[in-house]
Chains A and B, each alone.
Chain A
Amino acid sequence: MTDSNDDTRTSRRRFLTGAAGLAAAGAAGAARAENPKNLPPNVADWSKHLGDGVAVRPYGHPSKFEKDVIRRDVQWLTASRESSVSFTPLHELDGIITPNGLCFERHHSGIAEIDPDDYRLILHGLVDRPLIFTLENLKRLPRVNRIYFLECAANSGMEWRGAQLNGCQYTHGMIHTVQYTGVPLKLLLEQAGVKATGKWLLVEGGDASGLDRSLPLSKALDDCLVAYRQNGEMLRPEQGYPVRLVVPGWQGNIWIKWLRRIEVGDQPWYTREETAKYTDLMENGKARKFTFVMDAKSVITSPSPQAPIRRKGFQVISGLAWSGRGKIKRVDVSLDGGRNWRTARIDGPVLDKCCVRFYAEAEWNGEPWLLQSRAMDETGYTQPSKDALRKIRGVNSIYHNNGIQTWALKANGEVENVEVG
């Protein structure tokens, strides 16, 4: 999404003049009406007639009633859909695993459609034995299964100057969590034999952008995977079918999709994607480079602007927390904009560089809430407020906005993305 981020403000103005009121009109009235004929004591339609038989749906889809649980994009962000981003509908999901079809997309030249028979990965450079692998070759090697989050460095990037997009799908939806199956990159490098002078890898995609990034050898040997499956099935084309790089805890841009080449070198390449993009511009005009690690972060996914409250009384507040530095240790939730905090309950697995699901329960009787969540990881890093981040970084950095999100809950159950001071 960052390709045209410089133009965000002018585009927004254009959008406003062209489409004022549309958002408000579309937001209303999505609640479904009940059909009394299906409710007790009447016998429901589906209780009387045969439904579809087996294999009528050879690859299953979600219920037709879930048709609005989809990835969405923000068209004013980018000049074309081939170089753009779509967002995961976090407000519609629970647990930690993202269904494959809902994983956010970020492409630079569209989706490459690669015939697996024609897939090749070349590994060369400062190695003893340059090698070329087929997909079948990779599948013959010992493999592992790991669950990691993948977050785009620009996730929440539109929010640096204040609350802008009204929904956690848009503010935080450039993240997904799946289980990868793949070969440890270390094992592949061992097959080629890295020379003692090797210090960095160039990792490159096979799509028409040939996206290339420099990856320190130390990270490659630590926990990176050359993956071909997500959640058990082969990678989706949007996620790099048939092979992508997995770089746990690090910014999504370096998780090269459609991986075609790995070159071992003795210094970084300073490619466009790690200089002109994915560098963090500070207030003084200088920019941080190679800011690979994603800082600890969290967001309340429900209630949120796309998931308002329908009834007074008992509420389950639910959200996600993650850290690129290790495991999440604790998540706190505030209902009053950060004045007072309570520790949330984490339910489900707590894994290294992976999302956790947290819950906080509370009674609500129409009073205004300012909902926040605050993640802490095992290194002791605690998610900062947006203002604390801005104090150090200014508002021009685009990337790595992990500040605490505030949702304002109104008396009618509506939730809005707000900025607090």
Chain B
Amino acid sequence: MSRSVSLIAAALLLASPALAQDKVAVRKSPPRNYGVGQAATPAQIAGWDIDVRPDGQGAPPGKGSVKDGEKVYLEKCAACHGEFGESAGRWPQLAQGKGTLASHDPVKTVGSYFPYLSSVFDYIRRAMPFGDAQSLSNDELYAVVAFVLNLNDIVDDKFVLSKETWSRVKMPNENGFYDDDREKSEKAFWNSRPCMTDCRPPVKITGHAAVIDVTPEDKTPRKGGVE
């Protein structure tokens, strides 16, 4: 019996032991309404519904210019992300990195990696400034996103971001992603008869974690007791 069917059967068992004996009846019966939970009002939903999609669905009213965004950014973002989005310390870098994705040292930023305007807008709207989430006004939000786009040379200095100008923003790496293809590209890993004996030539150690020595001191006993 599949799990989903068994779940329904379990649910019905609680309500009606007689029905649960009959699997066919279980499958055909409409989902039970338990009368649990209240109707969510439009006002309740509106207060929490802050997601934005690539096509701009969900974007709030408001607008903000690159110029206004610079003020917000310098006041609320630059301490971690750097004045030019270069990152201060270990916080995420927001700008530069163009042309590095195929290199040995890829730098993933809004300009080099994010595929959609919404991916950055939605994130800042819900999670930034770090530790003071959802504190920006809609106009500040539009402005600071416009400024981050400008840091990445995606919009010019005069740009004003709003629902109306949303679709004009084209992110450079929009086509940089493709759907999970492991079942094709890694098909060779489906091998239920792996080699068991003499599978490879003698093995050499080519790298040591202890030599790199970045493991934290953690009081676990690492020395073997064997003389």
Whether both chains belong to one complex is answered with yes
Question: A109-B133, A275-B115 in contact; A132/B126 too (CB < 8 A)?
Answer: no
Question: B200 contacts which chain A residues (CB < 8 A)?
Answer: 338-339
Contact in complex: B208, A416 (CB < 8 Å) = yes
B48, B201, B209, B227: the one contacting A261 at CB < 8 Å is B48
Could you count the A-B residue pairs with CB atoms below 8 Å apart for me: how many are there?
Answer: 364
A31, B220: Cα distance in complex, Å = 9
Of residues B14, B185, B200, which shows the largest number of chain A Cβ atoms within 10 Å of its Cβ?
A: B200
Question: Count the A residues whose beta carbon is within 8 Å of the partner chain — how many?
Answer: 140
What is the interface residue range for chain B against chain A? 35 or more
B102, B188, B197, B206: the one contacting A419 at CB < 8 Å is B206
Question: A75-B216, A270-B118 in contact; A380/B192 too (CB < 8 A)?
Answer: yes
Contact in complex: B198, A339 (CB < 8 Å) = yes
Mark B107-124 against chain A: 1 for CB-CB distance below 8 A, else 0: 110100111101110110
Residue B207 lies at the interface, judged by CB distance under 8 Å to chain A: yes
Contact in complex: B177, A275 (CB < 8 Å) = yes
Contact in complex: B39, A129 (CB < 8 Å) = yes
Contact in complex: B118, A269 (CB < 8 Å) = yes
Which of A45-53, A159-167, A230-238, A355-363 makes up part of the contact surface?
A: A159-167
Residue A408 lies at the interface, judged by CB distance under 8 Å to chain B: yes
Contact in complex: B127, A108 (CB < 8 Å) = yes
Mark A357-384 against chain B: 1 for CB-CB distance below 8 A, else 0: 0000000001000100010100111111
Question: A190 contacts which chain B residues (CB < 8 A)?
Answer: 31-33
CB under 8 Å from chain A, chain B span 79-113: 80, 87, 89-93, 101-102, 104, 106-108, 110, 113
Question: B180 contacts which chain A residues (CB < 8 A)?
Answer: 288-293
Question: B214 contacts which chain A residues (CB < 8 A)?
Answer: 12, 15-16, 74, 76, 164-165
Question: A4-B92, A276-B114, A287-B176 in contact; A72/B216 too (CB < 8 A)?
Answer: yes
A375, B202: Cα distance in complex, Å = 22
Question: A179 contacts which chain B residues (CB < 8 A)?
Answer: none
Of residues B176, B178, B205, B224, which shows the largest number of chain A Cβ atoms within 10 Å of its Cβ?
A: B224
Mark B160-176 against chain A: 1 for CB-CB distance below 8 A, else 0: 00000000000000001
Question: A383 contacts which chain B residues (CB < 8 A)?
Answer: 189
Which of A34-42, A56-64, A96-104, A305-313 makes up part of the contact surface?
A: A305-313
Contact in complex: A288, B194 (CB < 8 Å) = no
Q: Which 5 A-B pairs have the closest CB atoms?
A: A413-B224, A337-B203, A285-B102, A26-B217, A419-B207
Interface residues of B (CB under 8 A from A): 3-4, 7, 10-11, 14, 31-34, 36-40, 44-45, 48-54, 80, 87, 89-93, 101-102, 104, 106-108, 110, 113-116, 118-120, 122-123, 126-127, 130-131, 133-134, 176-182, 185-186, 188-192, 194-210, 212-227
